[in-house]
Chains A and B, each alone.
Chain A
């Protein structure tokens, strides 16, 4: 069965600093990987997704992630944090099937200080 591990339930950065949120996956077949963001009292918004095309995926709001099969990782990065990036971020995996089932990590709350 596939699973996702997000290291660090909280990550704190200063405004303008690099953001790095870690995600490792476990899957017996090539996975499809996603990063979602959740702002307080809202649903989930897709940041980016990997579907076996380019290994470096660019998303919205300046975020990007690199799929590394050898490390089973899909870490999320942003060169320069903004205050508005403060939110909870979820990594998710889905099998290459027609079923729309996402398996989520436990989430990482990003705190951005001025």
Chain B
């Protein structure tokens, strides 16, 4: 099976812009979670989608949003980018029932200038 894929792998944006990141889960997985990784804050949970519904949300401002499509692919959007949004954004997928292993993609590295 193909693993979790994320596109693009690298992005450079300027403050005030918006960005959309994409995640394709492992085939058959219905849950997609997003995490932000920064040197200062470490790995932080953003949100989780299951069957096109947001099931859980982390403590991030409303500028961070996401969605999931019927094929389980997910996108996250960050509007009005700030310098502090520079981070590695990781997507993870799982079947979504109970406590299951989350399989992570390689991440999208976002640099905000």
Contacts and interface: CB of A to CB of B under 8 A. Distances in A.
B1 to A, nearest CB: 15
Nearest to A31: B99
Main secondary structure of the interface of B (DSSP, over half): strand
Given A43-B104, A43-B107, A51-B99, A100 B31 contact: yes
Interface of B: 4, 31, 33, 35, 42-45, 48, 50, 55-56, 58, 90, 92, 94, 96-107
B99 A43 contact: no
Contacts of A77: none
Contact of A100 (B4, B100, B107): B100
26 contacts: A32-B99, A42-B106, A43-B90, A43-B104, A43-B105, A43-B107, A44-B90, A46-B101, A49-B101, A51-B99, A90-B43, A92-B43, A98-B96, A98-B98, A99-B48, A99-B56, A100-B31, A100-B33, A100-B92, A100-B94, A101-B58, A102-B43, A102-B45, A102-B92, A102-B102, A104-B42
